[in-house]
Amino acid sequence: MPLTPEIVGKLHEATGARNVITASEELRTYECDALTAYRAVPGAVVLPATTEEVQAVARICYQAHIPFVARGSGTGLSGGAMPVPEGVVICLARMNRILEIDFPNARVVVEPGVINLEVTGRVAPANYFYAPDPSSQSVCSIGGNVAENSGGAHCLKYGFTTTHVLALEVVLPDGTLMHLGKKTLDALGYDLPGVFVGSEGTLGVATKITLRIVKRPESVQTLLAAFHSTTEAGAAVSGIIAAGMLPAAIEMMDHLSILAAEAAVHAHYPDCGGLLLVEMDGPQAEVCALMEHIQEICRSQGAWEIRLAQSETERALVWKGRKAAFAALGRISPNYIVQDGVIPRTRLPQVLTRIGELSTEAGLRVANVFHAGDGNLHPMVLYDRRIAGQEKSAIALSERILELCIEAGGSITGEHGVGEEKKHMMSKMFAEPDLATMQRVRCAFDPQQIANPAKVFPRPRLCGEKLGEYTPHPLELAGVAERF
Amino acid sequence: MTHQGTETLRDVRVVEPESEEELSTALRCADRDGLAVIPRGSGTKLEWGNPPARADLILSTVRLNRIIEHVWADLTVTAEAGCIVADLQRVLTPHGQRLAIDPLWPESATIGGILATNDSGAWRLRYGGLRDLIIGVTLVLADGTIARGGGKVVKNVAGYDLPKLATGSLGTLGVITQAVFRLHPLPRKTRTLTLAPGGMAEAQALLLAIQDTNLAHIALQLRCGAHRDPEMDILLEGTEEGIEAQTARLTSLAAPARVAEGPTNVWGARQEIANHDAVAKFSVLPSKIADTIGAIAAAGDPEWRAVVQATGIGWISADAALSRLRARIESEGGTLTVLRQSPGAAAIDAWGDPGDTLPLLRTIKQRFDPKNTLNPGRFVGGI
């Protein structure tokens, strides 16, 4: 249904006219997230300031059958916040208050527009931190983290966003307000926060989020080890895991990504074929003992340079290079695709070799950054859009790499989400009954499918309505969707 | 001993499928014929939840008990639902690994059973609950659909998190036939410390003080009961050096209470409580533990006992005034779930108030099991 002036008028009433954007040049700001290859211009962008305003906007959309997409900071990498053409974007940036900090129970209640790093900033004086740390943490919002179930380098030990979200106040697609989970553990009923976190905006809009915060460990040490190849570095990772250690983070970078990171932030990384970054935290006596063991393992696997960053400044520099790795590629290539796949960690050598072969075949460079501890790969396919056909081959190569991940028993996404970019890959990873079962969940939350409707799943599918009058969906009439 | 929950199941026929496909067929046929199906593992927690409204068939997973794949180098394991927890741990131990959960009755409880009931023990403080350990699930829905969610890798955000949806759903959405878990290394050394903090107020203060440090303890519990002062147990794991240093810090933190190395069987206190005739589980904010224990003591059961973890989750054996206790705990934002009621006690709803989510819980149930075939009436809000 089009966004008529009458509906825009209702949106004005809901949030105040100055919080509704309809001018086409301003709408362009919202046409994509950080995956800029996918764009669509929305009909309107609304910036609600309260839960009630979000409810009012959702009700207007629901009654008029207008799809909406919720948006935080727009740093997503899978097109999850890309608008529906002519639909509504609900931007939560103005809902950015930290509402409650409860140190005795280690809980923080925030609005969705709060920036990830701000949470840590506010609790740091009492030596707490918010554990999920996506590379974009200085700009990405907690609401967006909830939608994507964001990870980060330290989720190997501390878990993902879903581990740290205890409760959510949610506006369902029809405008109903609901409270999923509790500040206490094991709320009654199904694990609704578990289902909602990572649902990529398809089940509703979170308007308040109760987070768990974590006490800063007594000591943190970060080791940098240079190897001749990623194979050697990978063997060291296996050695560390086999020795029964669970570091806070294990990151690996290949030669190309090291070059890029050096060019961008001068982290003083050694020029090597495979760089390993291992962080251990915990009681000081424990960390010291285990770090020695890790150094032995690295040396035995061929590490020719090992550095131990112990001061906060040294550590920050080491991490700066890693966290800047994506953006740094801009220094060595005009365009690039950041991919996000997962493999069982032990398959790393074979998959890397195969990626190398595919890269040669396609004549395109691939830089690799991994969360090596949990097998999360970020291959980055470098290309030049100005060369005819190169973008197309880059996309094909990047998808072939995802297929490799599926073949290896892994996943098409470890932390960026399916969004718009990978929805067609879902049917390669899951069988039809699996997807149909997920659809049952979606239909329970959003029978009309107006919340981010065209994302995550490979093709539109409608919910069989149990009650009320049957009205065929426009997609059904057009023959592009089936009712089930 | 027959409890209220199991009486209705006494003469019910049992089906023991040998494969996922057989289980799917059995369930589909039962659903088609309008039979009510009670999924069962070893039956250790069959009386948890409300008594089923109907019961025509018990669908047992005992023969689905294989460990499909233990990829030790990836720290993952895939096991069928009927696999006994202790059997699984015995396969993992030689590789220096474990599933980091300490459920009730591990020698008889099954993987499917602990998942369906979301049972977790003292280790939850450090390792999280089953929701944090499960990474993949196979669920057979009432209509026979075999659905998989998650996968075999620890980090994975593709699609909705069906493993979490299945965890704690008490078999009302589908029958879990297989699960994939992330594993943890076995600790190099462990040490249990025990102390008597004094009264409940001192215990509460010390618990919060310890939680506010950067000690890396695995578990922290309080054991309480009628006519005795609370005792606190702390579990440490790691290297000898790490454990020594943490013991020293705890000793100074707890003073004047004396910290002693305790017997490991203190961690069996939860199971001792769960073996009683009348058992309830509660979950409160960690800062409300003393208040809650005070309310339990005042409720009037002369022989009450309780174990509370620093997570705020606790178990009590007490029959008296559970409704009043629940109202009190719910008013503070917590929950009280009755796991087992003594024969002859005045029956109360097992669950309590799920808040404003009830319509959504019902809709999810309806989408998964429209004919209300699976465990009818046992779950929250009559689901």
Nearest CA in chain B to A373: B74
Residue B151 has pLDDT above 80, yes or no: yes
Q: Min CA distance, A198 vs chain B (Å)? A: 7
Q: B208 contacts in A (CB within 8 Å)?
A: 104
Q: B355 contacts in A (CB within 8 Å)?
A: 179, 188
Q: A430 contacts in B (CB within 8 Å)?
A: 148, 158-159
pLDDT at A461: 76
Instruction: Kindly report the number of other CB atoms within 10 A of residue A308's CB atom.
Output: 15
Interface of B with A in 326-365 (CB under 8 A): 333-335, 337, 351-358, 360-361, 363-364
Specify if B73 maps to a domain: yes
DSSP assignment of B253-275 equals HHTTSPPEE--GGGGGHHHHHHT
Percent of chain A past pLDDT 90, that is, above it, reads: 81
Q: Which domain holds residue B312?
A: 189-340
Q: Min CA distance, A17 vs chain B (Å)? A: 32
Asked if A435 lies within 8 A of B355 by C-beta distance, the reply is no
Q: Min CA distance, A185 vs chain B (Å)? A: 6
Interface of A with B in 394-433 (CB under 8 A): 409-418, 422, 426, 429-431, 433
Q: What is the pLDDT of residues B230-251, one digit of tens each?
A: 999 999 999 999 999 999 999 9
Residue B24 has pLDDT above 70, yes or no: yes
Interface of B with A in 79-108 (CB under 8 A): 96
Same domain? B69 vs B203: no
Q: Which two tokens stand for residue B48?
A: 């948890």
pLDDT at A153: 85
Same domain? B43 vs B75: yes
Same domain? B55 vs B154: yes
Asked if A215 lies within 8 A of B212 by C-beta distance, the reply is yes
Give the CATH number for residue B83: 3.30.465.10
Same domain? B156 vs B30: yes
Lowest-pLDDT range of A5-14, A236-245, B188-197, B202-211:
A236-245
Same domain? B36 vs B148: yes
Q: Which two tokens stand for residue B383?
A: 């689901």
Same domain? B46 vs B169: yes
Q: What is the pLDDT of residues A15-49, one digit of tens each?
A: 999 999 999 999 999 999 998 889 999 999 999 99
Asked if B162 lies within 8 A of A151 by C-beta distance, the reply is no
Specify if B351 maps to a domain: no
CA A257: distance to chain centroid? 20
Give the CATH number for residue B215: 3.40.462.40
Q: Min CA distance, A407 vs chain B (Å)? A: 12
Q: What is the pLDDT of residues A387-437, one digit of tens each?
A: 999 999 999 999 999 999 999 999 999 999 999 999 999 999 999 999 999
Q: What is the pLDDT of residues B330-342, one digit of tens each?
A: 999 999 999 998 8
Same domain? B177 vs B221: no
pLDDT band at A483 (very low <50, low <70, confident <90, very high): very low
Q: Which two tokens stand for residue B180?
A: 């994939």
Query: What mean pLDDT comes out for the span A466-477?
Result: 46
Specify if B373 maps to a domain: no
pLDDT at A328: 83
pLDDT at B306: 97
Asked if B215 lies within 8 A of A283 by C-beta distance, the reply is yes
Same domain? B170 vs B42: yes
Residue A466 has pLDDT above 70, yes or no: no
Query: What mean pLDDT comes out for the span A209-238?
Result: 95
Specify if B357 maps to a domain: no
Q: A247 contacts in B (CB within 8 Å)?
A: none
Arithmetic mean of pLDDT over chain A: 92
DSSP assignment of B115-129 equals HHHT---TTHHHH--
Same domain? B38 vs B128: yes
pLDDT at B7: 66
Q: B185 contacts in A (CB within 8 Å)?
A: 241, 244-246
B264 interfacial to chain A (CB closer than 8 Å): no
3-state percent breakdown (helix, strand, coil) of chain B, nearest 5: 35, 25, 40
Q: B186 contacts in A (CB within 8 Å)?
A: 244
Q: Which two tokens stand for residue A302?
A: 């061929």
Which of B186, B211, B238 terminates a domain? The answer is: B186
Q: Which two tokens stand for residue B36?
A: 């009510």
pLDDT at A91: 98
B213 interfacial to chain A (CB closer than 8 Å): yes
Looking at mean pLDDT, say which of A255-259, A383-387, B116-120 comes out highest.
Answer: B116-120
The DSSP 8-state label assigned to residue A423 in this structure reads: G
Domains present along chain A, CATH in parentheses = 5-91 (3.30.43.10), 98-215 (3.30.465.10), 219-326 (3.30.70.2190), 333-423 (3.30.70.2740)
ipTM higher than 0.90?
yes
Same domain? B179 vs B197: no
Q: Min CA distance, A9 vs chain B (Å)? A: 31
pLDDT at A316: 87
Specify if B252 maps to a domain: yes
Closest to A212 measured CA to CA, from A170, A137, A169, A158: A158
Q: B74 contacts in A (CB within 8 Å)?
A: 344-346, 375
Q: What is the pLDDT of residues A49-93, one digit of tens each?
A: 999 999 999 999 999 999 999 999 999 999 999 999 999 999 999
DSSP assignment of B317-373 equals E--TTHHHHHHHHHHTT-EEEEEE--TTSPP--SS---GGGHHHHHHHHHHH-TT--
Same domain? B249 vs B325: yes
pLDDT band at B4 (very low <50, low <70, confident <90, very high): very low
Residue A484 has pLDDT above 50, yes or no: no
How far is residue B372's CA from residue B327's CA, in Å, rounded to a whole number? Answer: 29
Same domain? B172 vs B293: no
Query: What mean pLDDT comes out for the span B91-116?
Result: 98
pLDDT at A1: 63
Residue B317 has pLDDT above 50, yes or no: yes
The CA-to-CA distance between both ends of chain B, in Å, stands at 27
B195 interfacial to chain A (CB closer than 8 Å): no
Judge contact between A248 and A281, C-beta under 8 A: yes
pLDDT band at A459 (very low <50, low <70, confident <90, very high): confident
Specify if B367 maps to a domain: no
Judge contact between B193 and B263, C-beta under 8 A: no
Domain count, chain B: 2
pLDDT at B6: 61
Higher pLDDT, A312 or A365: A365
Specify if B83 maps to a domain: yes
pLDDT at B312: 98
B286 interfacial to chain A (CB closer than 8 Å): yes
